[in-house]
Structure 1
Amino acid sequence: MDSDRDQRDAEDVEAAGLRSDTGRAIGFSDAVFAIIITLLVLDLRIPEIPPGGLLHALLTRWPVYLAYVTSYLYVAVNWLNHKSTFYRIRCADRGLHWANLGVLFSVALLPFVTAVVSQAVEVGDRFDEGVAVALYGLVGVILSAAWLCLYHYLSRHGELLQRHVTPRFFAVERLRALLGIMAYAVAGVTGSLVSVPAALAVLLLLPLFYGLSSNGFYDLRRRLRNR
């Protein structure tokens, strides 16, 4: 009996050792988000122009500004989602760390696709514009899929959550991620085959939706009821 009890105690200690508080994960993630925001602004370069041509040069670079605003909102929304998610997490294990790294990997792609879209739209070649918007949509799909994996993991591991949070919360949150996969796929296909401006409008509106619902679907319903 004593040996069985000692074995169970050893297993409990080992399991506890594989878990940690969320402080390091949050700190590391915040640093990654800060770097991504910094990389976004690097594409806002001062145009090389002759004297008297500054205003025209600035106005013709509107695609760069639009791409920057869209991606900045998207990164901001992902940070809010991340903050809201980890507020509900009591401790983290290795699986959760990998799921979180998947989200960060996907968000880190945004500066690259932002530069691709802004350059393609600025040059004005229709084929390149379609490819660039489709690539942005693909990154949106990958990022939404990463969130889906994270939410799915948390819905299956209630022991990682705060006491006031039930696994059902993250089971429902998977719907938001699924909507993102479908919406960004539609935006990418629209930009590639139908209309680049329409796709850009969708890409700009999606972060607004996720910003309003960054604390969950129930928070979006509460906002709508209060209007």
Structure 2
Amino acid sequence: MGKGRLEAFSDGVIAIIITIMVLELKVPHHAGWNELKQLSPVFLSYVLSFIYVGIYWNNHHHMLHAVKSINGGVLWANLFLLFWLSLVPFVTGWMGENHFAQVPVICYGIVLIMCALAYTILARLLIKHHGENSLLASALGNDTKGKLSLMIYASAIAVSFIHSWLAVGLYVLVACIWFLPDRRIERKMVQHGGEAV
């Protein structure tokens, strides 16, 4: 089946997720610098989550551009990913409002690792649907970046029990690793003249 509706629905959900996050930013009641300083944890958690959602949107776009069709399993896997992404505004607001306290930081990490697992499942089902010789399979290879990210998330969750800011630093590290769109897919698309195979 065609992938157009899945892409359109995913884009819409991700746009709503970003909208919800920005609406959680409350305008200060006073016009002083101190008011902004008090909001800095909320703003920092928003920036980090905005980058994460942007990373997922970018890589989701690249991944779907590399395939021609989808199936029922892919539809459900995509919904599984969108479910976990839809929890990002909640944990973002909770973490920021509580100044990166331990439990919200742990929950933030759980949502991030589940997003990563859901994305991995989606990629694997797309590869299964298109075959091990497909452009997507060739581009992702053994997915070292994906596996490394999962390990860092797991480490960050464990570290959260000791020091929450160290865990936040690890979340930032994963965001840095993925900040640029997945060049593996772009390179393979260029090699195949922009056509998915």
TM-score (norm 1): 0.75
Identity of aligned residues (%): 30
> What corresponds to 1:141 in structure 2?
113
Deviations 1:58-114 (A, max 9, x none): 112110111011000000000011001000110111011111111111111100000
> What corresponds to 2:155 in structure 1?
186
Q: Secondary structure at the match of 2:70?
A: coil
1:172 paired to 2:142: yes
Matched AA of 1:136: Y
Matched AA of 2:76: W
Matched AA of 1:188: I
Q: Secondary structure at the match of 2:29?
A: coil
Deviations 1:113-137 (A, max 9, x none): 0011001117xxxxxx111111111
TM-score (norm 2): 0.86
Alignment check: 8 A CA contact 1:106 1:139 kept: yes
> What corresponds to 1:92 in structure 2?
70
Find 1:103's aligned residue among 60, 70, 81. Answer: 81
Change (3 A) 1:38 1:166: closer
Deviations 1:28-65 (A, max 9, x none): 1100110011011112101234xxx6211111211011
Matched AA of 1:41: V
Matched AA of 1:198: L
Q: Secondary structure at the match of 1:121?
A: coil
Higher relative contact order (CA 8 A, sep 6+): 2
How far is the alpha carbon of 1:213 from its aligned partner? 5.3
Find 2:128's aligned residue among 139, 149, 156. Answer: 156
Matched AA of 2:38: T
Find 2:54's aligned residue among 51, 55, 76. Answer: 76
Q: Secondary structure at the match of 2:135?
A: coil
Find 1:214's aligned residue among 173, 182, 190. Answer: 182
How far is the alpha carbon of 1:166 from its aligned partner? 5.4
1:32 paired to 2:13: yes
Alignment check: 8 A CA contact 1:142 1:181 kept: no
Matched AA of 2:135: V
Unaligned runs of 5+ in 2: 188-197
How far is the alpha carbon of 1:218 from its aligned partner? 8.7
Alignment check: 8 A CA contact 2:62 2:181 kept: no
Q: Secondary structure at the match of 2:48?
A: helix
Aligned CA RMSD, in angstroms, stands at: 2.3
How far is the alpha carbon of 1:170 from its aligned partner? 4.0
Alignment check: 8 A CA contact 1:117 1:133 kept: yes
Q: Secondary structure at the match of 1:89?
A: coil
* Mapping of residues 100-139 of structure 1, within 5 Å: 100-121=78-99, 129-139=101-111
Q: Distance in 2 between matches of 1:54 and 1:166?
A: 51
Q: Distance in 1 between matches of 2:157 and 2:98?
A: 15
* Alignment size in residue pairs: 187
Q: Distance in 2 between matches of 1:110 and 1:67?
A: 10
How far is the alpha carbon of 1:156 from its aligned partner? 1.8
> What corresponds to 1:3 in structure 2?
none
How far is the alpha carbon of 1:148 from its aligned partner? 1.5
